[in-house]
Amino acid sequence: FILCSTIIRSLTIFVNNKASNYGGALYALRNLTITNTDFKDNKVNGSGGAIYTRNGRATYSTIYDRGAPAYTVANKLYYQLYIKGNCVFENNVAENEGGAIFVGANDYAIDDDLLGYLNIAKDVSFINNNASNAGAISIEYCESFINGVDFTNNYANIGGGGAIAATGKSTLIIDKSNFNNNFAEEYGGSIFSVNQLNITNSNFKSSKEMDFINYYGHEDNEYEGCLYLKNNNMDGNILPLVSIDT
């Protein structure tokens, strides 16, 4: 359980750890940087099979303005998760969301602001992770960047996002990454997103009969976003490879 900014590096291995609610191996409420670390066979009965991170509990300030009644405002707490360089997440399981990683806000996300920052870059692999939703990574209320990452055989066994699900007011930018044989029971064999989604220079391949990307653009979606795809390779055996729900 991590309450302060922490760096984990130098060939650390987290194996066969278990938790009841949050984070099979790590549960962090502050900034967390991870390099050269493996997470294998960790399990949680809740969310975040290997890692669970979110903003800490809100604090409140009372504002006194001359001539007006006093009022209370919530102080926003932000978190950052960096993962880079020779990290492997393999065979991690979450009963709920994020087979390997859950990044999100507390239930009382303030004004729907982006409260987190996620950056996963180069030589990071997610293999055979499993959850009800978001087989590898679940993202909520978070600005997210994924660059040069491999996702293979991750599985959402009930809902959507075989590799990644980005919900709430999240932005997800992906570049130079590979998605191979990921699967979801409902929608988005590789990715499910409800807000801004940018994917460039990436490869999608699967032998499974399912779309790679499901972008939710229904008129009842309270978040405004867009879908941007450029210079990607998609090799699948079912159409459409990209589904847009409107």
Q: Which two tokens stand for residue 55?
A: 């903003």
Closest CA to 94 of 57, 137, 61, 64: 137
Which residues fall within 8 angstroms of residue 69, CB to CB, at 6 or more apart?
none
Model-level pTM? 0.87
Give the number of other Cβ atoms within 10 Å of residue 10's Cβ. Answer: 8
Please give the residue that has the higher pLDDT: either 217 or 63: 217
pLDDT digits over 51-90, tens only?
Answer: 998 864 444 444 555 555 554 444 455 678 899 888 999 9
Q: Indicate if the pLDDT at residue 198 is higher than 50.
A: yes
Show the DSSP H helices in the chain as ranges: none
pLDDT digits over 97-116, tens only?
Answer: 999 999 986 554 455 565 67
Find residue 213's DSSP bridge partners: 191, 242
Looking at residue 22, the DSSP 8-state letter turns out to be B
Residue for token digits 């293999």? 127
pLDDT digits over 125-139, tens only?
Answer: 999 999 999 999 999
Q: What Å distances lie between residue 160 and 111, 175, 190, CA to CA? A: 26, 21, 9
